[in-house]
Each structure stands twice: as C-alpha cells, then as structure tokens.
Amino acid sequence: MTTRAEAFAGLSVALITPFDQNGQVDFERLAQQVQFQIDAGTTCVCPVGTTGESPTLSHEEHDQVIAETVKAAAGRIKVMAGTGSNSTEEALRLTRFAQKAGADAALVVAPYYNKPTQEGLFQHYKALAEAVDIPLCVYNIPGRTGRNIEPETIVRLAQFPNIAMVKEATGSMDQASQILCETDLTVLSGDDSLTLPLLSIGGRGVISVVGNIVPQDMKALIDAFERGDLAEAQRWHRKLFPLCRDMLSLATNPIPVKAAMRLLGRDSGVLRLPMTPLDENQEKQLRNTLAGYGLL
C-alpha cells in the first residue's frame, strides 16, 4: 500500500523541548535529543508540538526551536515542525517560517478553543496549503482542541496535493478507516498504544511520545509489522503497552515523559507553568514501570 507521504512512514518522534534549571530552552540538549533519534534510525523528529510544550513557548522561542532542530538534523533525519494555532494568520506565519528554515513538513494541529465549524476547519487548512509547498500533516486531537475534524472534512482537504498526512489521535478506528478508504493520505497514529491497530488497517506509522525514551523498540514494532511478522509486532506491542499507558495516564503529556527522561539522565525534567511535576506517588509508579521495562 503506497500513500501520499511514504517518505514519512515509520517512526516519527514528538520531541520534548528541554529546559535548563532556569527554565530557558536548552539548545545543546535539544541537539543531543535529535542526535539520539538519528542514532536510533528514526524517520522524522517533530519539534514544538504538544510534547514540545509549544503553548508555553514565546513566538521567538518557537521559531528558534524549529531552526535549531533543522540545524541539528543537518539533512540526516526529517523534521516535521509543529506550526498549528487557533489563529489562521499565526499558523500561516509559523508554517511559512518552518518552510523557510528548511523543515521537511509541518504538523498542524486543528484550531483549538474557538471551535470553528467544519467549513472553518476546511478554510484554515486550505489557506495553509495554498501558502506553502512543504507537506502538511493535519493533526486531529479533539481531546485537546475541543473539535473533531470530521472524516468528510479531511476527505475534502485531500484535494490539496501538499496536504499529505493525518496524525490520527481521535482514538476512533472507524474515523481512521474512513480516511484510509476514501483518500491516499498517509495516516500516522497519534497514540502510541494504538500504533499496531492502526497499522493493521493501513496506517503507515506513528508520531510517538514514548519514542523519546525507546525509539528502537517502537521502530522494531513497526518493522516487524512491515515484514509480515505479526507475532513479533504483537510481542513488542505488549512490551511497550505499560510504558505507553503511563506516558498518557499518569498526568498530562509531556509531564510523565519528561519525568522519565530525568530519571534516565537524559533531561532536566524542568517544565513551564501551568505544567507541574508528578507527585510522589505518580513518580513511584513511573519508576516501577521503567524498572519493569528494564530501563532502571
């Protein structure tokens, strides 16, 4: 099965934005995170999305994280920059900047809070598609945005050649199936724990949170499925599931993944308000999960 953006099939990782102890963006550590993903054989990194705490970054920081990620990638790994906003003008500015900075694609979350109609959602993405040449990934996560991009709207958007991907985070296999049945869009899982089910209906990969910690393992799941070894893919799914579950259930993303990376010595764990650290009991549970996985 060939889809519109086959170059982005496989494992993409939604990067955290590392902060130093003073709460400033740690660009040296960001470059290390990119190198970590290159070494793991990851297809693509996605800076300044939900996991990258984009809501608490200034506009200048947002641009700088995109530019520094592209610089660190140096053409060795694809970069899909988060450029969404609930303001179409702001999304246009960010997406144009991402293209100018050298990003390979843009990850564009549905406009949040103001809850546009389906026609408003269509016009929002249409404006972006007509303004840039890089591939766009429609990021549908109604639990965050308050509005589902209905499959009929995504089918309409498929008329634009550079609307190439959907990050499917509705949790609905029926919605994903409709998109896959009616378009050639590349559908990527937006939920780590649903990667294997989505692959089974024609999805082409995942934009992963847990990939910040164990990219090789998530890649192994996808690779096993691609070569037809379903038993091996299921084995990886069962191994990864507790880790995937905790990254989303202990607290709001990216609180748990940043805590995990701190425990593994790969990040300071510093968050920006209104995000706050795990409490003592939550951290104990996370430690137990990491230990059970063999990471601690």
CA distances, 150 to each of 5, 23, 263, 282 (Å): 21, 38, 39, 35
SS3 call for 174:
helix
Strand partners, 206: 11, 189
Q: In sequence order, which residues have a C-beta less than 8 Å from that of residue 197 and are 6 or more positions away?
A: 173
SS3 call for 107:
strand
**Separation CA 49–CA 144 (nearest Å):** 12
Strand partners, 12: 44, 207
In SS3 terms, 68-82 reads as HHHHHHCCCCEEEEE
Catalytic residue of the set 125, 139, 219, 258: 139
Catalytic residue of the set 78, 125, 167, 258: 167
Q: Is residue 293 flagged as an active site residue? A: no
| Joined tokens for residue 271 | 């968050």
**Separation CA 199–CA 103 (nearest Å):** 26
| Joined tokens for residue 184 | 């050639």
CA 192 to chain centre: 10
Q: Token pair 């709460």 is at which residue?
A: 23
Q: Is residue 167 flagged as an active site residue? A: yes
Q: What is the dihedral of CA 175, 214, 135, 196, to 10 degrees?
A: -30
Q: In sequence order, which residues have a C-beta less than 8 Å from that of residue 152 and are 6 or more positions away?
A: 118
Contact in structure between 289 and 242 (CB atoms under 8 Å):
yes
Catalytic residues, which ones? 139, 167
